[in-house]
Amino acid sequence: MATVVFYEKPGCANNTQQKLLLAAAGHSVWAKNLLTEAWPAARLRPFFGDLPAAQWFNPSAPRIKSGEIDPARLGEDEALLEMEKDPLLIRRPLMEADGRRCAGFDMIEIDAWIGLQSLLPKRDLETCTRARPGKSCLESMP
């Protein structure tokens, strides 16, 4: 089983469920606060792999929901600069295990990567459950 460094937004219900799923599959989860880590571009970029820059963003981030930032209009350098200034923009969780990094919680990819022991839940564990029109799950952040 893997040791997973799991960068989360503390209090996020989906991140809690994701960590529980990883632990139930036998992995050790080392949770860290995504919002208090330093994210210079050279450290953050490897988490996104081949994803287009627009997919690096948390679509529930207040600055995205308000239209202040349009991820589709930003190049990689601009995206990384904005995320360094505002970690709420970063798609989460960020995870590291066995020398690999990823952003988001694509259960199929994670199962292929480190294994989830056939514990795949029926519901999506990446999309914010509190996101409703006009309401962001990030609004509960202290």
Is 110 inside any structural domain?
A: yes
Is 141 inside any structural domain?
A: no
What mean pLDDT do residues 122-137 have? Answer: 54
Enzyme catalytic residues:
12
CA distance 43 to 66: 27
Specify the CATH number for the domain of residue 129.
3.40.30.10
Residue 141 or 26, more confident: 26
Residues contacting residue 47 through CB under 8 Å, at least 6 positions apart: 94, 101, 102, 103
Domain total for the chain? 1
Is 91 inside any structural domain?
A: yes
Report the relative pairing of strands 100-103 and 28-33 from DSSP bridges. Answer: unpaired
Write out pLDDT tens, residues 16-63: 999 999 999 999 999 999 999 999 999 999 999 999 999 999 999 999
Residue 24 or 134, more confident: 24
Is 70 inside any structural domain?
A: yes
**What's the pLDDT band for 3 if we cut at 50, 70, 90?**
very high
CA distance 90 to 34: 9
Is 88 inside any structural domain?
A: yes
Query: String of b and e for 86-115 (b: at least 16 CB within 10 Å)?
Result: ebbbbbbbbbbbeeebbbbbebeebeebbe
Domain that holds residue 114: 3-136
Residues contacting residue 127 through CB under 8 Å, at least 6 positions apart: 14
Is 142 inside any structural domain?
A: no
CA distance 125 to 104: 9
